[in-house]
Amino acid sequence: MSLIDDLLELNLVERQLRGLQSRVGSAETFFNAQNRQMNELLQRQEELQTRRKQRQVTANGFETDTKAMDERLEKLRNELNTAETTKQYSAFLEEMNTLKKTRGETDELTLAEMSEIENLDSDLATLEEAVNDRQKLLTRAVTELEERKAEIAERVSELQRERDVKAAVIPESPLQTFNKCADDFDGDAMAHVEEIDKKRREYCCSSCNVNMPFNNVVKLLGSVDSLMQCENCLRILYITPEMKAETVSK
């Protein structure tokens, strides 16, 4: 067999192998998307929980301050009743009024914090539902991915062995070129020469449809053991048996 024939056989196996692997690829894409969105939800959940803890600590601090002020107010009331001089009475009364004002302001701050905590609790509840829904999708994605892998595992193994056998007969340099084209074009490494106008000797690459010089077609017809790549898309070019037979018959 010629080099081109060997490459065509390898290309056939390569396309089958990548076709099967693409089935797993779509499942992996779905899984990765669900996993990424789940991580984003969990990160958002963690951020909200951290903010809630901070708000709760602040609210607890205000409540502690309020309790201390209430205790001081109670003590001042007792002292107010036992004041011996007008000066003492006025001093106790002034401190009580100041504390009452501060306590009122602290109450407002406490209410504001509690309101923020309620808002955060609401957001967390909504987020929890979203996490649960996303978890269902993620579980489904994992199941589908494992099923797809299991479905094709045996056939992929067979094709991989067949590919290794066919690749082994191809010289290193052409094989490297083929492998690069296969990676660049997702297994579509080769393209046949297509005849546009026989009389005008117009030909093109069947993959990218870019015209190619007639002398390149002649070279391809004259040698099946050397590579020629499309000048535009760089796929490996070959002449179909039908086109070759028609040319030879002339």
Verify that 179 and 98 share a domain, yes or no: no
Q: How many domains does the chain have?
A: 2
Q: What is the mean pLDDT of each run of 10 residues along the chain (250 residues)?
A: 92 93 89 96 97 96 95 92 89 93 95 96 97 96 93 92 96 96 94 91 94 91 86 94 72
Residues 146 and 242 in one domain: no
120 and 189 inside one domain:
no
| Same structural domain, 108 and 184 | no
The domain in which residue 68 lies consists of 3-168
Are 118 and 41 within one domain? yes
Which CATH number does the domain housing residue 117 bear? 1.10.287.1490
pLDDT for residue 23: 84
Same domain for 123 and 204?
no
Task: Tell the burial category of 28 from Cβ atoms under 10 Å away from its Cβ (0-12, 13-18, 19+).
Answer: middle
Q: Where does a domain end: 135, 168, 201?
A: 168
- Is the CB of residue 86 less than 8 Å from the CB of residue 49? no
What is the pLDDT, as a whole number, of residue 155? 92
Same domain, residue pair 115 and 158: yes
Q: What is the pLDDT of residue 191?
A: 96
Of the three residues 150, 168, 186, the one that is the final residue of a domain is 168
Measured distance CA(43)–CA(76) in Å, rounded: 49
Name which of 205, 204, 239 is nearest 224 in CA terms. Answer: 239
- Which residue in this structure is represented by tokens 């996303």? 134
